[in-house]
Amino acid sequence: MDLWRSLSLGVASFLLLACAVARTRGRRATRARRRKAAAQERALEGGKTPGALTPDGWFTKGDEAIEDERYDDAVLAFDECIRMEPNDADAYYGRGCALDKLGRHRQAIADFAKAIGIAPNDADAYCGRGYALEELGRHRQAIADFAKAIGIDADDADAYCGRGYVLEELGRHRQAIADFNQGDREDPKNAEAYCGRGFAFEELGGLQQAIADFTQAIELDAKDAEAYYGRAALLEEFGGHQEAIADFTRVIEIDPHDAEAYYGRGVILSGLGKHEEAISDFAKAIELAPTTPTPYRGRGVVLDELGMYRKASADFARAIEIEPKDLPSRLDLAEALLCDGKAEQCLTELRKAETYVQGGREQVERVLPASAGGQDTWARDRQTRGGICRVVGQGRGSHVGHRAIRTNGWKAAKFPPRPRRSPSI
């Protein structure tokens, strides 16, 4: 089979579906600095040094834990702060941020709501709750919270970017760009605004503009994995394979557990004929996301190209087991079985796929031998095998093109959520 065409899963096009959106810390960090400065001022006035046993001390510990990405420790510190000062809006906000980082979005929402109840004009808390609501797919509520934050603080770049990402997820790309533009105006050094706008431009076909925005985001934040990821896919589409590989590699350096980055790099390596490296990347993606069908298919295609039909068939079968309606994997399995001399099993897979391949059954039966006794001979006959392969090729080509694989393959892939930067205190 045509390896690159079979694996051409539209690396650029699946980014939005793959992305669990990144977040900037933005002005959130100033909240902690204000709190710390106020605590020091109070301590000096009282002739004391703020310690771990005061609410301010626990708050500082929680803030430092978030800075060090020790989110469980941050939750414990804010717990103590709240125990000592039950109406501390800052502590509820801080704990909400830590819980959101841990993926405990419903608990985070409850803490942000508590902060809002204590301080109704807390724009940060509305913004934080908006991020958590977005993670749960509650888009309308998220938009309302971002709008509330903007109403309280019209200069809140994070709120504009947060709303921009929700609009982007809803396919409202031009409105998203308007919000990202506003976020950029409010904070020209906000990498998030450039990264988000890059994804929106990509969806609207402005690929060069998207690359420029991703590049600017990287210049502002060298650890912005989403920007590297977005740029990698577009560079690949423009033929910059080595540059794309370098960007995917950078994503992996930032987060070694990013299954999608291994998969994306594997796709490019397979297209360059670097089979062993591609197999290694697909294997790593499988290790990190064992219930995602797409990497199995990727590795299967490479194995098929190397003539390792039985191993390829096993990978295609596993992809189908995870997602029974995965037409690309079923057609690939049929071809691999045929090349392995298993004509009847090939036909079985094609007939299972006939729902997706218009006229597929009739085309298959035209190339089948008249008698069952001729199966073995037929399976080794090049001309007849070519007929079956043409059926497979027609099915793949007419129904699983560049964009169709995005819909039928990548959406169904369900990789684990990509890491994001939720608001920090």
pLDDT at 57: 87
DSSP code for 400 = S
pLDDT at 174: 95
Cβ proximity of 211 and 189 under 8 Å: no
DSSP secondary structure letters along 276-310: HHHHHHHHHHHHH-TT-HHHHHHHHHHHHHTT-HH
pLDDT tens-digit profile of 386-409? 555 554 444 443 322 222 222 233
Q: What CA–CA distance (Å, rounded) separates 116 from 109?
A: 10
What is the rounded (10 degree) CA torsion for 184, 185, 190, 195?
A: 0
Tell me the residue type at 94: G
pLDDT at 39: 55
pLDDT tens-digit profile of 339-375? 888 888 888 887 777 665 555 455 445 544 433 344 4
Tell me the residue type at 96: G
| Cα 118 off chain centre by | 35
Residue ranges in 8-88 assigned as alpha helix (H): 15-18, 28-46, 55-67, 71-84
Residues of the chain with pLDDT under 70: 1-52, 354-425
Q: What CA–CA distance (Å, rounded) separates 129 from 109?
A: 5
Structure tokens that stand for 12 in this block? 């650029």
Domain spans in the chain, listed from the N-terminal domain onward: 303-412
Instruction: Please tell me the pTM assigned to this model.
Output: 0.73
